[in-house]
Structure 1
Amino acid sequence: MKRFLLLLLAIGVLAACKSKKKSGSGDEPMTFEDFQALFTPGTLPYRLTPDTLQLKQPDSLRLDTAAMRFLTDTLTKGDFGKNEPVKYFPLQRIPGSVVNYMTVKAAGRSQSVGYLCFLDKKGKYLNRIRVANTGSADGTVTSLVIDSKNVVKISSETKLSGSRSALREDFYMVNPDGSVTLIMTNSNGPTNAGQIFNPIDTLPRKHKFSGDYTAGDMSIVSIRDGEDTKSFQFFITFSKDNGNCKGELSGRGHYIGGNRGEYKDKESSCGIAFQFTGNRVNIREIGGCGAYRGIKCFFEGGFVKKAEKKKKK
């Protein structure tokens, strides 16, 4: 009877060992399938915020050296102190159209940082970018959004004086080799006097409403051709009240009538209405766009179209 009970106990222990999920430690060599199983499966769109990074995770989920060999040993280079201990935790794995994504959390004493790793379809590590954090030395916090079209948006918010903050949004396209290409930048931060950087300046302007509309030296509504005749790209920046109130926004709008256009932000209530008349465009907010401007001014007013410079033959 005792032998029978010991046999059952041995079988139970063996089964438990086989069913236990590998966490990156142990005598058996870890395979990529084992490593991949440590990450929670996800789908696009995907978001990683500072709040997610602040959630505490048990050490039993920590990635050890055996697991990190599938990524890179320079994952956190430049983000933590030389002798600061850092723990790595798996977050999510997401299939993409060009590459696959894995997000990793690095937790140190000073901050927690999120990294977006790019792997090819066979699981080979290609590259990583820093996409989220809980707060750097200057008070900047960063978050990530990957939309359903695999466009990567990294948002950085920096606290200014009083209750004001500056928001910068960088949009990237991911290439098959794991490199990224900057597509567009939105920013409501301070600009240099007398200078306007127009991120869509070089895009085509064949549509009759495409062009640059200005109101003073530091305010512009730039319209460029969209993917089809019913859409358009736009960039708006303005400076009012001697530079005390500024705003900046860019995105993709749609024509909704003969001479009207509209933009609605998918992630907030912000919306802009465009009214084209002759060589003018009037804009007005149709939603709260406070994240992209000062609190005492709005995206509104009339802008006159600039004459396009003729190309030299």
Structure 2
Amino acid sequence: MKRYLLLLLTIVALAACKSKKKPGRGADEPMTFEDFQELFTPGTLPYKLNADTLQLKQADSLAVDVADVSRFLTDTLLKGDYGKTEKVKLFPLARIQGNLTNYMVIKAVGRTQSTGYLCILDKKGKYLNRLRIANTGSADGTVVSTSIDSKNVIKVSSEKKLSGSNTALKEDFYAVGKDGSVQLIMTNSNGPTTPGQIFNPIDTLPRKHKFSGDYTSGDMSLISIRDGEDGKTFQFFITFSKDNGNCKGELSGKGHYIAGNRGEFKDKESSCGIAFQFSAGRVTIREIGGCGAYRGIKCFFEGNYARKAEKKKKKV
């Protein structure tokens, strides 16, 4: 009797082990979204992903099926980075809860490069968009890394080796909307620039307020003011280059108007603050807090800027 009981317990145990087999990997039952997201390690903001992390080897058994990525996320994840016939392995890295959206980070490993992708999902798990955020080295030698701060601002850094030990660094800052839209809000670069040419990330925003416009002080210094969500707020972008380019600064954000012709910005992540004083055709700025994270150590966000005349649109 005991022999039959032992045999029965063994059969039940084997059946239980088989039932624990992960769906989507050869099991009879298809993988659910809950199963899929459990493959990703829970993470928190701030988050970083660089080329060194992408180069870490992972066991093939940890790879996720391309079919599952296509079903729960997108079938165009690799578009533009890998050929249709190239064999690419996908590894789930992290899942992160943001304020407006959630994120899933996936690593793609191909023949000559590894790439990191940030998949953006709504709070119910619906895929919205994706952003290429890291790479071990493209054809021109550019290495890409990223960081996401606690305010969900994504900074994608592209570093390219030049002659000798020189490198060119470009930093693109993105904001993510509730609908998954990705908007470039600022670009920093130590690469060569052409006098008189400044990339203004808020240039196309409305400028109906009486203080909205572009203010300059030399060829490479600009304060751009654009309309805010209401008449009490404004969007701004400041960039300057002093001392023949040896001291630079760049900052963007949302300020608010206070009594009279004044405005103010206070950074939630640091002690940095900027005071704006508007007058007829000019704006004067000064720091009201330490803004060293956004400029060189020997220069400040200060000075008097003259308003540029807005180009009149040609009548059709």
**96-105 vs 225-234, which moves further:** 96-105
Q: Secondary structure of the equivalent of 1:15?
A: helix
Identify the residue that residue 114 of structure 1 maps to in structure 2.
116
Does the 8 Å contact 1:285/1:298 carry over to 2?
A: no
Partner amino acid for 1:271?
C
Aligned counterpart in structure 2 of residue 138 of structure 1, from 137, 141, 149: 141
Q: Secondary structure of the equivalent of 2:193?
A: coil
| Structure 1 residue 143: Cα displacement | 1.1
Identify the residue that residue 159 of structure 2 maps to in structure 1.
158
C-alpha change, 1:262 and 1:256, in structure 2 (3 Å) is farther
| Structure 1 residue 302: Cα displacement | 0.9
Q: Residues of 1 paired with 2:89 and 2:288: CA distance?
A: 45
| Structure 1 residue 116: Cα displacement | 2.4
Identify the residue that residue 61 of structure 2 maps to in structure 1.
60
Aligned counterpart in structure 2 of residue 264 of structure 1, from 262, 267, 270: 267
C-alpha change, 1:125 and 1:207, in structure 2 (3 Å) is closer
Identify the residue that residue 30 of structure 2 maps to in structure 1.
30
1:9 corresponds to 2:23? no
Aligned residues: 303
Identify the residue that residue 195 of structure 1 maps to in structure 2.
197
Identify the residue that residue 47 of structure 1 maps to in structure 2.
47
Does the 8 Å contact 2:21/2:27 carry over to 1?
A: no
Q: Secondary structure of the equivalent of 2:220?
A: coil
Partner amino acid for 1:284?
E
**8-17 vs 239-248, which moves further:** 239-248
1:241 corresponds to 2:243? yes
C-alpha change, 1:41 and 1:256, in structure 2 (3 Å) is farther
Q: Residues of 1 paired with 2:29 and 2:292: CA distance?
A: 53
Does the 8 Å contact 1:272/1:299 carry over to 2?
A: no
| Structure 1 residue 160: Cα displacement | 6.4
Q: Please, what TM-score do these two structures have when normalized by structure 2?
A: 0.73
Identity of aligned residues (%): 50
Aligned counterpart in structure 2 of residue 224 of structure 1, from 220, 223, 226: 226
Q: Please, what TM-score do these two structures have when normalized by structure 1?
A: 0.74
Q: Residues of 2 paired with 1:282 and 1:160: CA distance?
A: 36
Q: Residues of 1 paired with 2:178 and 2:264: CA distance?
A: 32
Gapped regions of structure 1 (runs ≥ 5) = none
Q: What do the CA deviations read for 1:2-33 (whole angstroms, capped 9, x no partner)?
A: 221121122122222223434x4214252333
CA RMSD of aligned residues (A): 4.0
Aligned counterpart in structure 2 of residue 253 of structure 1, from 255, 262, 266: 255
C-alpha change, 1:260 and 1:252, in structure 2 (3 Å) is closer
Q: Secondary structure of the equivalent of 1:63?
A: coil
Does the 8 Å contact 2:172/2:184 carry over to 1?
A: no
Q: Residues of 2 paired with 1:121 and 1:238: CA distance?
A: 39
Q: Residues of 2 paired with 1:222 and 1:86: CA distance?
A: 44
Does the 8 Å contact 1:32/1:123 carry over to 2?
A: no
Gapped regions of structure 2 (runs ≥ 5) = none
Q: Secondary structure of the equivalent of 1:216?
A: coil
Which residues in structure 2 correspond to 1:269-308 (within 5 Å)?
A: 269=270, 271-276=272-277, 278=279, 279-284=282-287, 286-290=289-293, 292-293=294-295, 295=296, 297-306=298-307, 308=309
C-alpha change, 1:308 and 1:78, in structure 2 (3 Å) is closer
| Structure 1 residue 193: Cα displacement | 1.9
Q: Residues of 2 paired with 1:169 and 1:272: CA distance?
A: 22
Q: Secondary structure of the equivalent of 1:60?
A: helix
Identify the residue that residue 131 of structure 2 maps to in structure 1.
129
Partner amino acid for 2:131?
I
| Structure 1 residue 219: Cα displacement | 1.0
C-alpha change, 1:232 and 1:79, in structure 2 (3 Å) is same
1:18 corresponds to 2:19? yes
Does the 8 Å contact 1:270/1:289 carry over to 2?
A: no
Q: Secondary structure of the equivalent of 1:10?
A: helix
Does the 8 Å contact 2:264/2:274 carry over to 1?
A: yes
Aligned counterpart in structure 2 of residue 168 of structure 1, from 164, 168, 171: 171
Q: What do the CA deviations read for 1:47-97 (whole angstroms, capped 9, x no partner)?
A: 342165455544332113443442455532443588875321123445778
Partner amino acid for 1:215?
S
Partner amino acid for 1:102?
M
Partner amino acid for 1:167?
K
